[in-house]
Copies of this chain bind each other. A is one copy, B any other.
Amino acid sequence: MRATRPPVDKSERRGDLLRAARRVFATQGYHEAKVDDIAAQAGVAKGTFYLYFKDKRSVFVELLGALFERITKAILRVDVAQDVPEQVKHNIRAILAVLLDEPETTRLLLTHAAGMDKDFTENLRAFDQGVRQLLTESLTDGQALGIVAPGDPSLYAIFAIGALKEVLLTSATSATSVDREAIVKALYALLEHGFLRAAPEEIERKPPSRSTVLRSKKP
């Protein structure tokens, strides 16, 4: 009846539970994850869970909150006075670093966060909003400087974010590991030139070479 596992260094407990929760949530999703499962995964009794967390929801929120923070920190506001391409790539790289290192949390964010809760969905939207906002502003700055094409900058932000999300989702979801730098390059290339080269009239106008030039990834 008493078990009281040797005080594993005390404050380890909370981390154990957090990690356990992350794994269980990522595997089963929020609703199929039972507090029992989390406790079992952490190797403690169910009651212990409640010594460290107010309730099931709050662990989930905490896990994603921490992720939000890390992502937020990882993103540097692009200074248009500096080397923009490098900053953009840096941001992509940084976000990938945060999220690909924690495929479980990524799964939480990208596949299980939405199905959670009305309240939390609001949270999530707020975060998304924030990121989009930030990016939109940078793009607007960029347009002023002519380094971003004219057009709706928030649409551009959405596209960029969507593209990034989808690779992350795919990576976090599939078992295969990925070549991060390849993603960085490919995504940056997309932002800079797209990947469609279909412009017949122009192709006709500019006879031989050029498409090569066009494709010449990123000078």
Chain A residues engaging chain B, CB cutoff 8 angstroms:
28-32, 83-85, 88-89, 110-118, 121, 125, 132, 139, 142, 146-152, 155-156, 158-167, 169-170, 173, 182-183, 185-200, 202, 205-206, 208-215, 217-219
Smallest CB separation, A55 vs chain B (Å): 12
Contact A149 B197 (CB under 8 A): yes
- The copy count of this chain in the complex is 4
Tell me whether A149 and B189 are in contact in the complex, defined as CB-CB below 8 angstroms, given that A214-B202, A214-B210 are known contacts. Answer: yes
Most buried by B among A114, A165, A193: A193
Shortest Cβ distance from residue A183 to the other chain B in the assembled complex, whole angstroms? 7
10 closest A-B pairs by CB: A115-B115, A162-B166, A111-B114, A211-B212, A159-B163, A209-B209, A162-B162, A84-B198, A149-B195, A147-B198
* Chain B hits for A196, CB < 8 A: 84-85, 88, 142, 147-149, 188, 191-192
Q: Given A112-B114, A202-B210, 16 more contacts at CB 8 Å? A: A29-B118, A142-B198, A146-B200, A147-B196, A147-B198, A149-B215, A155-B167, A158-B167, A159-B195, A185-B217, A192-B194, A193-B217, A197-B219, A202-B214, A206-B210, A210-B212
Interface contact B208-A211, CB-CB below 8 Å: no
User: Given that A111-B114, A114-B29, A194-B194 are known contacts, is A214 also in contact with B214, CB under 8 Å in the complex?
Assistant: yes
Residue contacts A-B, CB under 8 angstroms, 28 given: A29-B116, A31-B31, A31-B115, A85-B219, A112-B114, A146-B211, A147-B197, A147-B198, A149-B193, A149-B195, A150-B215, A150-B219, A151-B195, A152-B186, A155-B167, A155-B183, A158-B163, A159-B166, A159-B187, A162-B169, A163-B166, A185-B217, A189-B194, A190-B190, A193-B193, A193-B214, A197-B219, A211-B212
